[in-house]
Amino acid sequence: MDAKQDPKATLELWTRTKPGGPGEQGTLKLTQAFEKATGHKVKVTAIFDDFETKLQQRAAQKKLPDLVMNDVTQLGAMNSQGLLREIDLGRIKNSKDLIDRGLESGKSLDGKQYALPYSAQASALLIRKDWRAKLKLDTPKTWDDFAAMAKAFTTQDPDGDGKQNTSGLAAPLSTKRGYASWYFSNFLWAAGGDFITEAGKGTYKPAMTSKESVEAMQWFRDLGCKDKSVQPGSVTMDTPPTNETFEAGKTGMFVVGPYLLPRFDESLGKDKYEVVPMPKGPKDATVLAEGGSVYLMAGSENRAGQDAFVDFAISAEGQKVGMAGDTGFVVQLPVNKTVDITQVRPDPRWQTYAEAYRTSGRYAPSIPNWTPVRQATADTVNALMADCGLDLRTKLTELDKQLAGILKEQGIAAS
């Protein structure tokens, strides 16, 4: 039953970020601007640990927060649990200005809108500029160039210390939270491969044994197993230790989003590295797109306030507020096509990222639960990179069987 409406009720907003951290500060800045613009009041709660568990507890009490700012990949899980209310785009005037791929990211399998993005990110390639200059290498334009640079950075002493102590590519290939799959997706999709592929309205089938997927996995595996171009210990590393290899001068290339620029500028030095678009793969230069979405939670007594907040968050004004500052910004890349990132951040590196998102970014599909797909594929990618003796086709065949079971369990398997 719908809650009795009170358009003056304070909105409770939960954001998935560390309490007291820059993410919370950025959210407070955004909500303060919203309050000033609309008169609605917002109470912000930052939660990082056990976010989903705490949300389930509130659901059991039938007292969900009004608004949640969370990862775009949580749409399927939250919607399948009945936690969200559908968004009427007719009430969100700024939705007409959203970048198409961003708008699509908030749709469920049935095509209904259950979220709207407020921030996006996509991958680009960081390169040690000084190493590239020393070895007289051009910026990589193809996968062959990429592999050659990774090998050169591993074998040709780019830091000039006379030791073989560098690696070409930084790669977080741990199974933790599916990191190996998350990272590999940038290469899989650029080769025309896929983890799962649509097979008719709302149904999917496994795709890791397709010709393109097998070739992408073989090429990526060769970087580690044949060329030895991936950093030692990559299969046990998530992002924090991988980040450290790049800033400590142990690795020379890193495929990653824009959120590390402020950190690397400080720790490594802005002059030491460059940001370039990912080189074209066998198919194209598709890269992983991610970001945060605003979710309007079911049972709110202030639906007008919910609509007003998401409308402000995606507006040009809200996007600019969210992007302001060198740290503590909640908007990485704008999702509103009227916002020129160079007007807020004149640094051309951010423009490289914005272009990657607009032209090559791809979100994971909004299936009921993406997590088990990411985890199963991460386990296999990790195993193949950790043990170069494993038979690749056998492992990918086993993975497809596992994926078929996951899809069946979620009721979206192609018959």
Judge if 128 and 232 occupy the same domain: yes
Q: What percent of the chain has pLDDT over 70?
A: 100
Residues 193-199 have a mean pLDDT of: 97
- Say if 375 falls within a structural domain: yes
Same domain, 91 and 129: no
Q: Residue 189 — very low, low, confident or very high, per pLDDT cuts 50/70/90?
A: very high
Dihedral angle sign, alpha carbons of residues 232, 233, 239, 245: negative
213-228 tens-digit pLDDT: 999 999 999 999 999 9
Do 232 and 379 lie in one domain? The reply is yes
The gap from C-alpha 263 to its chain's centroid, in whole angstroms, comes to 18
Q: Which of 317, 339, 358 is the last residue of a domain?
A: 358
Domain membership flag for residue 414: no
Provide the 8-state DSSP code for 336: B
Asked if pLDDT for residue 402 goes beyond 80, the answer is: yes
**291-341 per-position pLDDT tens digit:** 999 999 999 999 999 999 999 999 999 999 999 987 778 999 999 999 999
Q: Which residues contact 281 (CB under 8 A, 6 or more apart)?
A: 143, 187, 189, 190, 191, 192, 216
Q: Is 144 in the same domain as 265?
A: yes
Q: Is the predicted pLDDT of residue 1 greater than 60, yes or no?
A: no
Shared-domain flag, residues 103 and 137: no
Summarize pLDDT for 132-179 with one digit per residue, the tens: 999 999 999 999 999 999 999 999 999 999 999 999 999 999 999 999
> What average pLDDT does the segment 240-260 reach?
97
* Residues 319 and 342 occupy one common structural domain: yes
pLDDT higher than threshold 90 for residue 200? no
Determine the length of the chain.
Answer: 415
Q: 402 is in which domain, residue-wise?
A: 124-288+368-409
- Give me the number of domains the chain comprises: 2
Q: Residue 304 has what pLDDT? A: 98
> Is 339 within a domain?
yes
pLDDT averaged over every residue in the chain: 96
90-147: pLDDT as tens digits: 999 999 999 999 999 999 998 999 999 999 999 999 999 999 999 999 999 999 999 9
- CA distances from residue 156 to 61, 71, 385, 410 in whole angstroms, order as listed: 61, 40, 23, 49
pLDDT at 239 over 60: yes
CA angle 349, 353, 359 (to 5 degrees): 140
130 shares a domain with 204: yes
pTM (predicted TM-score): 0.94
| Domain co-membership, 192 together with 307 | no
Task: Work out the average pLDDT over 68-78.
Answer: 95
CATH of the domain at 92: 3.40.190.10
